[in-house]
Amino acid sequence: MSAKILDGNAIARTARSRLKADVDRRLAAGERPPGLAVILVGNDPASEIYVKAKRRDCEEVGFHSNVQHLSANITQADLEERVEALNTDVSIDGILVQSPLPDHIDENRIIDLIDPLKDVDGFHPYNIGRLALRRPSIRSCTPMGIMQLLEHTGVAIRGLEATVIGASNHVGRPMGLELLLAGCTVTTAHKFSRDTESCARRADILVSAVGKPGLVPGNWVKPGAIVIDVGMTRDENGKLHGDVVFDDAREVASWITPVPGGVGPMTRVAMLQNTFAAAEHALDIPDRR
Ligand code: GUN
């Protein structure tokens, strides 16, 4: 068996063209374009690449974008002031503070400060809490993008065994909550798990979000499983590697995401979808139009 490839680039492209049409309809109705603010602190090369891509995505779908590239030496108070200004900026529907932040910045305090209605990363405790309580509002982008990939397979996932490897705040935890909401039986394996292999082997849906190339060998994959690889580790030559041994896993799985071109583009498009939804929601709030 050779797995079908979940082509995130193609699926995201279709989603962006739908969004562009939605933006055009909005503009034709006399409304302003959705606005995304991105704050980048310091000069992390990977973050600079991600932020450039976000700006390009905004242009493609017709969003207004406001990218603020700030010094690595910015103080906590100054950064908080920037976020507060964006919270009250009526041209901005989504605020994204690119992580990682420098060590002297308390990232949790920054996330807590973002207006939950503008938290298009879906990282704010309010939005994670909504998801945990089965009343999702703004959803974390990577899990949201992955749920769209799963939808694309056409497989009915309610009742399936799902294993998530990795328990980060940004991916592993909200991923488990999304799969639980969809009716899966969810296992989260993490760095203290004693037998990650057996957790993986029973999974009909296997999501690996660790960032360790080769972590998931082909023989950890249940025959016919859907394999989602969130890992993105750059080697010394700049080549990206996932967590899963792709060539072996694809012989066993039914569907599999490539790296690059699987989850990454879906994360980006989910952020655009969240921004559009936030902009539409703002139309119902009189002082935000
Ligand atoms: N750093 C890498 N990916 C992301 C993301 O999706 N959102 C934020 N805020 N920072 C990131």
> Nearest-CA neighbor of 59 among 16, 120, 118, 12?
16
**Which sequence spans correspond to the domains of the chain?**
27-120, 141-264
Indicate the CATH number of 141-264 among 3.40.50.720, 2.40.50.100, 3.90.1200.10, 3.60.15.10: 3.40.50.720
Å from CA of 141 to ligand 1 middle: 9
Domain 27-120 falls under CATH 3.90.550.10: no
List of the chain residues with pLDDT < 70: 289
Selecting among 22, 57, 119, 121, the annotated active-site residue is 121
Q: How far apart are CA 266 and CA 127, in angstroms?
A: 19
Q: What pLDDT does 289 receive? A: 65
185 and 162 Cβ atoms separated by less than 8 Å: yes
Q: Give residues (CB < 6 A) around ligand 1.
A: 50, 96-99, 121, 141, 267
Ligand 1 atom with the shortest distance to the CA of 268? 6
Among 39, 67, 99, the mutation site with the greatest number of ligand 1 atoms within 8 A of its Cβ is: 99
Cα of 139 vs its chain's centroid, Å: 9
Annotation marks residue 98 as catalytic: yes
